[in-house]
Structures are given as structure tokens and as C-alpha cells.
Structure 1
Amino acid sequence: MQLPQIRLESKYAKIGMRTSKPVQDIQQTPADLSIKQLKADLKIRTLPGKLTIDQTQARADVDLKSIARRIEEFSNEGYQALLDGIARRAQEGDQIMKVENGGHPIAEQAEVNSKNPIYDFNIGWVPSHGSVKINYLPSEVNIDVTVNKPIIEPGINKAKTGYTPGKTNIYLEQQNSLVIDFDNLRFIGINYEQKI
């Protein structure tokens, strides 16, 4: 038995898309940097050291004395000899005045005054130790530093940008269609039969 059939064959429409990507270009040139560094201000003040050497006593020890010092020493020695003489004569006068105590004071005084004095001497150093006097005043150094800050001047460069927009092309890739087919379909009319 053949049944009538209607066949439908359809195709959907297909849309195609073709896309080109956007392009962005950025170029950044580095910043211009200017740095100026001034030298520091440096001031140095130096007070020189002072060395004093006093060898007056050492020269006096080897009998190289100034005339003023000789006059002063002779004056002091003469004055001391005067005082010693006055004291000796007063003592001798007292001894002679008390002759009643016995003894021979005049002979004893003559014997003492006629002898040369005995001087004590041991090891000596010429010039004597410590006769050269050295004094040193150290120097002073004053340092004054003034720091100058650097001068920095940046120059900013803008970025160069370029942009190419993307494109999208839309097109019909497949046309839609509908195919209708009949099979075993007959039209039976009045007095005739027709295959469709």
C-alpha cells in the first residue's frame, strides 16, 4: 500500500562573520632628566700650632748669660753677701763680748776666716736636666661645609598613540530554502485520476 507523502526539506540561513582585530600602538619616549649638582662650599680655617723653646736656663748653665741676667745675679749675690757679712760680724761681736766665758774667741775667729770654704760636689750635668723648657700649643682646624642640594628638572614627554579600529563584516553564508516534495499523491476527480 502506498501512502501519500509530503516531504519538506528545509535549510536554515547561515550568517558568516569576518572580523579583523583592532590595533593600538603606544610609543612612550623616555622623560628628559636634567640634574645639576653644585659643588659643596668648603671653608677650612687653620690656626697654626705654636712651639716655644726656652733655653735660657741651659745657656746660663754653660755660662752664656745675657748682661741683664749677669747684673741681676751679681746684684743678688752682693746683697746676700752683705747680709751674710752683717750676720757673721754680729755673731763674732757677741762671741768677743762674752770673753768672760772663757776660750780664745779672737784666735778661733781668725782660724775660721782664714780657711778656704769646702764645696760639696757630686755628679753634675751641664746643662742641667730639664733646663730646656719646651711648650707646644697644637694647631686648630675649623672646617665649615655647606651642602648644595641637586637641581633636578624633569621634562615629561607625552606618549604617542595610534589606534586602528577593528572591522566586522557580516555576510549570508547559506541561503535559507524550503523544498516541498509530494509522493504517492493522487487527485481523483470526476472521471479521471491525476498523479500530482
Structure 2
Amino acid sequence: MITLTACERRRLKKIATSYTAGYQLVVRIRIVLDAAHGYSSNTIARRRGVTVDTVRLWRGRYRSQEGIKSLTDRPRSGRPPTFSPLQRAEIKALACRPPAETGVPLSRWSCPDLAREAVTREMAPAISASTVRRILAEDTLKPWQHQSWIFIRDPAFAAKAARVLDLYARRWDDLPLGDDEYVISADEKTSIQARCRCHPTLPRARRG
């Protein structure tokens, strides 16, 4: 059984109910919280939709290692991604455009067609259909599957996307941002335009 302090329990519950925490981390934290409540590994596995071995792994790591730090993924070795964020964005942007707009005589894109077109447009020296499929599968939103989507037609898309992607990576003009520099993203609220009011706010009406 795992024993948690009041501070640990509050911190774990806060992350477990967060909308920004990763799904895998939330599941692992809920496994630990269930274990702290005294549930067996079999019961936790049924509650969380995972295998018993997964439950044993994460409750064991939490109990024997550095608490919440043990629930994050360890660094993995391996070669870096072959395609840059900009190349991935360009391929997704190409998938959002109807083939007819690019001069390709197709009614809809396939991954092999996209791979050939990406090489033709020099987005990458070479790319396979399976790699294109993986890049498109990364996104939860898939605008290329919806007819009502606003397709990207900006000829300066690559330059504009590169600036945004660099900021996501905390870089500007090929220099890393400092510890006291922050990137803030803001957008208009759905159905509410970000503009000044035309008329002053009216006082509350009196009830008769």
C-alpha cells in the first residue's frame, strides 16, 4: 500500500483533474491515488482500464523512487526526428488543400500522393507514404477530412509558420529565449470578437 502525506495527496489530485496534464500522467497518478486508498492491483486495473502489470509498475515506481517525478517518462535514446516542425506543418497544410487547387488531377489526397507532391514541392528531399500517414495521425483535429474547413492558401505560409513554430520551441531569430522571456498565445473567444464596445454598458434595470 502507498502512504501519502496530505500535501502529496492535494498535489496529485490537482494534477489528476487538470485539463492540461498529459493523459498518460493522469492515468498513472490515478493509479497511485487508488493504491493509497487501499485498492488491490486487480481492482485498480479494472477501474483505470489498464493491465495489472501496468498498475504494479507505476505503484512500485512511486513507492520506491522520487514520488511524482517517477511517474513521468524517462528520457529515451534514439535518433532525432527526421522532419522538422516546419516540414510537418507544410505537409499538413498541403493535405488541407483540395488537390485540384494544386494542379493535381485527383478528387482527394492519398498518403502516397501527398508524399510525391511534398517531394515535388521540395518540402523534403524524400518522404514515404507511411511517414506522411504518421504525421497526419499526430493531430487530434484533422481538417483535411472536413469539407467546411478554411483551407490554407497563403503563399507565405512557410515563413509565417516558421516564426510560430520557433516560438513554440522557445527560439526567436535563431536565438533561445531567456528564462525571463515568455511566449503568450491569445485568441478570440468563440462567437465573441475582440474589439471595443460601441456603446456604454447600461445600468441594471429596476424590477417593477
Q: TM-score range by the shorter chain?
A: under 0.3
**Higher relative CO (CA 8 A, sep ≥ 6), structure 1 or 2?**
1
Considering fraction of residues, name the structure with more strand: 1
Larger Rg: 1
